[in-house]
A and B are shown apart, each in its own frame.
Chain A
Amino acid sequence: MANLQDIRRKIHSTKKTQQTTRAMKMVSAAKLRRAQERITQARPYARKINDVIHKLAKSHKLEHPLLGHPEEHGKALVVVLTSDRGLCGGFNNSVIRHAGNFYNQNKSKYSKIDFLFVGRKGADFFKRQKGIEPVDVIYNLVTDVGYKLAADISERLLQYYLKGEYTEIRIVYNEFRSAISQIVRDEVVLPLRSKEDEESENIDFVFEPDAYVILDQLLTKHFAVQVYKCLQESVASEHGARMSAMENATKNAGEIINQMTLSYNKIRQAAITTELIEITSGAESLKG
């Protein structure tokens, strides 16, 4: 049986851990709220740009290198969005697993598959487990998730694509549903798909400078916005995942503390009882 001192020490340390996890939960909750706000604020811009591209593509039969279908047996670049730090439940695992499966299943379909990681966790895992060296790793997503960063990343990806280093670019990330549910998404972001859907009214616009230049610039921005959206979703998911993971940890710590306190009290009781028995029996024997 464990002695009293040990149990007391263990309770103490578990309480400390619980404090930490509780604090982490609070911090994540606050950050999550901000991340969610940013997602909603980015929506109108993305929607507007989409609208305009549709209108343009409709009224003018425009061809553009960024539009089209991915060619077969091409060279793929998979951008995997993970976090820099752990303690966030299955957040990194699910994305990494998906990327790994994609690699195993499609190795033969592509002439080359490369990876680019955002966040340290993914890069570390692939280096350790599969010996795959990433094209590049981008750190510090969570601390600096402005549109500027997204624009820089998208610019890089565009360069890769336009130079013909890759014929297909995918992003694998966690889409934010709620604090307890994140869904892994795998999207082909380049080439952009030209959607042909609902009828929009056909207005005869005057273009300055001309339709092609506008389309060209808009597609670039559209791509940047898509990257921005994925980054935002991933950041929100990370905070959400961490929040629920820490919530669980806090609850579990509470349970452990309760159990240990119970057995601590039992042992203490037992010790007191034996002591009392010793005293009374000692007094008995003196009398006799």
Chain B
Amino acid sequence: MLLTVVTPEKKILTDVAVEDVTLPGFRGELNILDGHSPLMTTLSAGSVRFKRKGSNIVESVAVSWGYCEVANDVVNILAETAETSQEINLKRAEEAFKTSEKMMMSDVDPAQLEKYRLKRERALVRISVAKMNQ
């Protein structure tokens, strides 16, 4: 099975042979193995985890909004942003988490609240991905 992850700013992975892929799908996490039926789904903020062929190490990529297409044992992921655990700045993510948490506690108007909720979510994903490979 081949996995490709691209963002508008760069290619993260191109046609990498993988054993399996776990995605944060629209209806929740989903695991994709060889022979999966054709599927198109949007991705929520979360981590995409995969094992390279013949390897037991789980690698992960943090994505924000994205979209995924599965067909003929090819998985294409288009993400707004995607970062590998090496690229994530853990300190910054933790700071973002703290500030968004604080902003949500203070009274902000509802339109802003949604923004901070999303920000908090993204920060959480980044933190979990960064910590996983430590």
User: A residues within 8 Å of B by Cβ?
Assistant: 38, 41-42, 44-46, 48-49, 52, 56, 146-147, 150-151, 203-209, 211, 213-214, 217-218, 221, 224-225, 228
Interface assignment of B33: CB less than 8 Å from any CB of chain A: no
Instruction: List, in ascending order, chain A residues with CB within 8 A of B92's CB.
Output: none
10 pairs, A vs B, C-beta closer than 8 Å: A45-B6, A48-B76, A146-B9, A147-B8, A205-B69, A206-B38, A217-B65, A221-B67, A221-B78, A224-B8
Chain B, 45-83, CB within 8 A of any chain A CB: 65, 67, 69, 71-72, 76, 78, 80
Instruction: List, in ascending order, chain A residues with CB within 8 A of B8's CB.
Output: 42, 45-46, 147, 150, 224-225, 228
- Please tell me if the beta carbons of A206 and B26 are within 8 angstroms of each other in the complex: no
- Please tell me if the beta carbons of A52 and B6 are within 8 angstroms of each other in the complex: no
Taking A44-B6, A44-B11 as known contacts, 20 extra A-B pairs with beta carbons closer than 8 A to each other, sorted by chain A number, are A42-B9, A45-B8, A48-B78, A52-B78, A146-B9, A150-B8, A151-B80, A203-B38, A203-B71, A203-B72, A205-B69, A206-B38, A206-B40, A207-B41, A208-B25, A208-B27, A208-B39, A213-B42, A217-B42, A217-B67
Query: Which listed residue (B7, B42, B72, B80) contacts A209, Cβ 8 A?
Result: B42
Q: How many A-B residue pairs have CB under 8 A?
A: 73
Q: A137 vs B23: C-alpha distance in the bound complex, in angstroms? A: 40
Q: A147 vs B82: C-alpha distance in the bound complex, in angstroms? A: 13
- Please tell me if the beta carbons of A205 and B11 are within 8 angstroms of each other in the complex: no
- Please tell me if the beta carbons of B9 and A214 are within 8 angstroms of each other in the complex: no
- Please tell me if the beta carbons of A208 and B42 are within 8 angstroms of each other in the complex: yes
- Please tell me if the beta carbons of B6 and A214 are within 8 angstroms of each other in the complex: no
In the complex, which range does the number of interface residues on chain B fall in?
20 to 34
Interface assignment of B91: CB less than 8 Å from any CB of chain A: no
- Please tell me if the beta carbons of B38 and A52 are within 8 angstroms of each other in the complex: no
- Please tell me if the beta carbons of B67 and A52 are within 8 angstroms of each other in the complex: yes
Q: A147 vs B8: C-alpha distance in the bound complex, in angstroms? A: 7
